[in-house]
Amino acid sequence: MHNSHQSEHRPYVPTPAEMEERYRSTDQVWSGKPNSTLVDYAAELAPGTALDVGCGEGADALWLKNHGWDVLGIDFAPTAVARTRALGVAAQVAMFSGFSHEPFDLVSVHYGGIRATSEEVEKLEHLVAPGGTLLFVHHDMESTELAMPEWLAHNLRELETVTLARRERHLAESAGAHHRTDVVLVAKRVG
């Protein structure tokens, strides 16, 4: 497999097959702890329905469920979805581009592979219910292929940006541990 970050300006985007192989090759890819940004932001919201895009092994989805959210995780890697389901969290194998569902009160995307296209932005916006929140977090890097928080903030048409900020995070022992700074976008659908 390629290094997931071949360049600071053009990150390598693994294919679904490569990610599935990554999950199948080890018992645990990620730390098993929820992302601190999710914990900090979601703790301020009233629980409702939540979508965890790119749920991986389910740590974020489990945290949401344990804090009163009716959560659904989606990921394109069947092994990741199976691990999320093993935690007792609803999850399904789905590519974001083909996913369709009623809107959610919270849509959480941490380091997800949302493409930088108007179609995927529109889909993302339509998944946020009136009064709902989008929490979109990615590493502080540039990409022309993937939607990054700053790019997304400038391309939202139906959501209002509440927060767009850089955030230092504590490093853990996991596959994403080498990234020190994230960019966080919080947007709301007024209504």
Question: Are the C-beta atoms of residues 61 and 52 closer than 8 Å to each other?
Answer: yes
Going by pLDDT thresholds of 50, 70 and 90, the confidence category of residue 160 is: very high
More confident residue, 99 or 174: 99
Residue 31 C-alpha from the chain's centroid? 15
Does pLDDT of 161 surpass 90?
Answer: yes
Whether the predicted pLDDT of 130 surpasses 70 = yes
Q: Which residue has the higher pLDDT, 28 or 6?
A: 28
Q: 144 burial class (0-12, 13-18, 19+ CB within 10 angstroms)?
A: exposed
* 7 CB burial (10 A radius; 0-12, 13-18, 19+): exposed
pTM of the predicted model as reported, rounded to 2 decimal places = 0.85
Separation of alpha carbons 76 and 23, rounded Å: 11
Amino acid letter for position 84: T
13 versus 132: the higher-pLDDT residue is: 132
Residue with the two structure tokens 């969290």: 89
Q: CA 62 to CA 64: how far, in whole Å?
A: 5
pLDDT, one tens digit per residue, over 69-110 is: 999 999 999 999 999 999 999 999 998 988 999 999 999 999
Residue 132: pLDDT over 90: yes
Q: Kindly state which CATH superfamily the domain 16-188 is placed in.
A: Vaccinia Virus protein VP39 (3.40.50.150)
The pLDDT, as a whole number, for residue 89 is 98
Q: Is the pLDDT of residue 67 over 60?
A: yes
Neighbouring residues of 119: CB distance < 8 A, sequence distance ≥ 6? 97
DSSP state of 43: T
pLDDT, residue 171, reads 55
pLDDT in tens, 37-53: 999 999 999 999 999 99
Rg (CA), the chain: 15
